Amino acid sequence: MDDKTTHSKNFPFTHFMDLNAPQIEEELLITASKNQKERPPKTSISTSPPPPSPTPTPTTPTPLTQTPTLSIVTQNTNDTAEAVIATAKKSKKEAPFGRFNSVKEARFSIDLNGPPTPFPGINTPTAKELLSQVDSTVITKLEKSHERHHLNPEKNFDTFVVGPSNRVAFATCQNFAKNPTKSYSLLYIHSRTGLGKTHLIHSIANYLKEAYPQYRVIIVTARDFMRELVDYREKIHEFRKKYMNQVDILMIEDIQELKDRPGTQAEIFHLMNEFQSKNKQLILTADRPPNEIVGIGENIKNRILCALVIDIKPPELETRLTYLKNKTEQEDFFLPDDVIREVANNFTGNIRELESALVRLGVFSSVMKEDIDLNIAKEQLKIQMGTANTSILTIEKIVFAVSRYYKIPVADIRSKSRSKKNIEPRHVSIYLIHKLMQITVTQIAQFFYRDHTTVIHALQKMEHQIKEDRDLSQTVGIIEKTI
């Protein structure tokens, strides 16, 4: 058995040092090994095999009532302690848990129940920093959840909560997906924001992907369709070839955004005629009935009125309760029944409000390491005692609405970037937050990681531009209506 093995065996602290102070462990081993070579080992350090230990008597485990302690002990106390102290002074290294006079005096404890003690140089986040982390995480999660650029596999018929308010729309879309060639050539779904239109059309696409993989399906927003048309303005024949010859089922969301866009409307009407003549399917969604859309040509309105038109109403209490319970089970997140009912009673506008409330509570519980009770839920969701708020407005909600309109991530709006594509959405967000919420300029500045003077400048600039720029004024109005 070599020196290192012998001394590792006789110094039980080496196992502790492996985890906490590798440099001091190495110095201890080198020093002890040197002492071992220079003088005969004392009787306490034996190179012969130890006698067999008696068979232990089985005992009942004693409950852990005190914090377990690992002690550094040694048989050669004087020599080893002097060597350790001399070596430590020579190298000017200090043990990470404080300086001691002898090895025998050192004691280390491990608290298995309490929170971990931070190491020197590692700052513990403050409550304010943790709450800021909650806000950022909520926005990120909601942004990812409402992403519409790609087919979302989580939005399917199995995860759609059916109730009296949406039963007809659900059955119609399910029938459309199961019998695509026998369905109406044009389906029009309308409802207020956040009631499940996007979920239903993604459900159709996911079902077709599995049951009818030969069908070519495209989901696109009206705004993206319009931008793509602009990009293809020099190659319009390629644009028409893509949508008329390479697509079997086309779904266009939010066609109300084509208001006063005659060129794009002409292409949509042309598609309607082509799809009908070739027995292809077209699904349109909007936030209002076709006869209430302003700025859309009569030819398109009349064609839609001849199609299958279905609507979705706001969810009833039982539907809201079912949604919350199903969502908490899917996310493996426990909420007491009184909290679920409180959320359902206070967020009655749409499903998206319920989802936002649930995400905030889940993130708060995860970041703050606290279970959610009724008081925490009311505080986090700004629910007033004895009142039923049908729509709780938050900074995140406003910024997310701006993000969806401009099709850029929320992180870019809050970033330090000075590019034009980020500045306008940022200023619009600041303007709407200041207009719609009763919070100070300083609070707005903290959310955007900026000085309050920067926010004041942005507000002044926006107020001037809205008076001079008709398009910007219209954009702000559109976003405000979606909040």
Q: In the listed set 311, 337, 352, which residue is the last one of a domain according to the structure?
A: 311
Residue 264 resides in a domain = yes
pLDDT recorded at residue 129: 64
Distance CA 53, CA 76 (A): 23
* Same domain as 435, residue 469: yes
Which three-class secondary structure string do you get for the chain? CCHHHHHHHHCCHHHHHHHHCHHHHHHHHHHHHHHHHHCCCCCCCCCCCCCCCCCCCCCCCCCCCCCCEEECCCCCHHHHHHHHHHHHHHHCCCCCCCCCCCHHHCEEECCCCCCCCCCCCCCCCCHHHHHHHHHHHHHHHHHHHCCCCCCCCCCCHHHCCCCCCCHHHHHHHHHHHHCHHHCCCEEEEECCCCCCHHHHHHHHHHHHHHHCCCCCEEEEEHHHHHHHHHHCCCCHHHHHHHHHHCCCEEEEECHHHHCCCHHHHHHHHHHHHHHHHCCCEEEEEECCCHHHCCCCCHHHHHHHHCCEEEECCCCCHHHHHHHHHHHHHHCCCCCCHHHHHHHHHHCCCCHHHHHHHHHHHHHHHHHHCCCCCHHHHHHHCCCCCCCCCCCCCCHHHHHHHHHHHHCCCHHHHHCCCCCHHHHHHHHHHHHHHHHHCCCCHHHHHHHCCCCHHHHHHHHHHHHHHHHHCHHHHHHHHHHHHHC
Could you tell me if 306 and 187 lie in one domain?
yes
* CATH number of residue 337's parent domain: 1.10.8.60
Q: Do 302 and 327 reside in the same domain of the chain?
A: no
Half-sphere exposure of 225 (CA within 13 A, CB side): 26
Same domain, 199 and 294: yes
Q: Of 287, 311, 335, which closes a domain?
A: 311
Do the beta carbons of residue 355 and residue 145 sit within 8 Å?
A: yes
- Written as six digits, the tokens of 119 are 């190491």
Residues 263 and 198 in one domain: yes
Domain range for 38: 3-42+66-109
Residue 457 lies in a domain: yes
Distances (CA, A) of 459 to 76, 306, 402, 425, 426: 75, 46, 16, 13, 11
The answer to the question of residue 78 being in a domain is yes
pLDDT of residue 197: 93
Q: Residues 25, 89: contact at Cβ < 8 Å? A: no
* pLDDT at res. 426: 93
Q: How many whole angstroms separate alpha carbon 130 and alpha carbon 38?
A: 57
Mean pLDDT by 10-residue block, N- to C-terminus, for the chain (483 residues)?
Answer: 42 39 50 52 46 51 43 43 53 46 51 50 61 62 55 90 92 92 86 90 94 91 89 86 88 90 90 88 91 87 89 89 89 88 85 85 84 86 52 74 85 83 91 84 84 89 88 87 77
Residue 222 — φ and ψ, nearest 5°? -60, -35
- Do 324 and 426 share a domain, yes or no? no
* C-alpha 50: how far from chain center: 59
Task: Convert the pLDDT of each residue in 122-169 to its tens digit.
Answer: 456 666 666 666 666 665 655 555 555 578 888 999 999 998 889 999
Compute CA distances 297 → 45, 188, 302, whole Å: 98, 16, 9
Tell me what pLDDT residue 55 has: 53
The pTM of the whole model exceeds 0.85: no
Are 178 and 306 in the same domain? yes
Q: Please state at what angle helix 452-468 crosses helix 470-482, rounded to 10 degrees.
A: 110
**Domain finish residue from 286, 311, 336:** 311
In a domain, 223, yes or no: yes
The bridge status of strand 107-109 relative to strand 69-71 is: antiparallel
Strand partners, 412: none
In a domain, 87, yes or no: yes
52 within a domain of the structure (yes/no): no
Nearest to 380 by CA among 359, 399, 401, 349: 359
The residue whose two tokens read 């936030």 is 287
Angle at 91 between CA 85 and CA 97, to 5 degrees: 60
- Cβ neighbours of residue 120 closer than 8 Å, sequence gap 6 or more: 96
Whichever domain contains 438, its CATH number is 1.10.1750.10
Same domain, 275 and 198: yes
- Total count of domains within the chain: 4
Length of the chain: 483
- 237 and 362 both lie in a single domain: no
Q: Cα(245)–Cα(49) distance, rounded to whole angstroms? A: 86
Kindly state whether residue 476 falls inside one of the protein's structural domains: yes
CB 219 within 8 A of CB 179: no
**Do the Cβ atoms of 31 and 80 come closer than 8 Å?**
yes
Tokens of residue 364, six digits: 């708060």
308-311 and 281-286 as β-strands: parallel, antiparallel, unpaired? Answer: unpaired
297 vs 304: CA distance, rounded Å: 11
- Both 38 and 170 in a single domain? no
CB 152 within 8 A of CB 248: no
pLDDT on residue 249: 92
Q: Contact 314/348 with Cβ under 8 angstroms?
A: yes
Residues 70 and 104 both lie in one domain: yes
Same domain? 365 vs 247? no
Q: Is residue 57 part of a domain?
A: no
- Nearest CA-CA partner of 472 in 461, 22, 483: 461
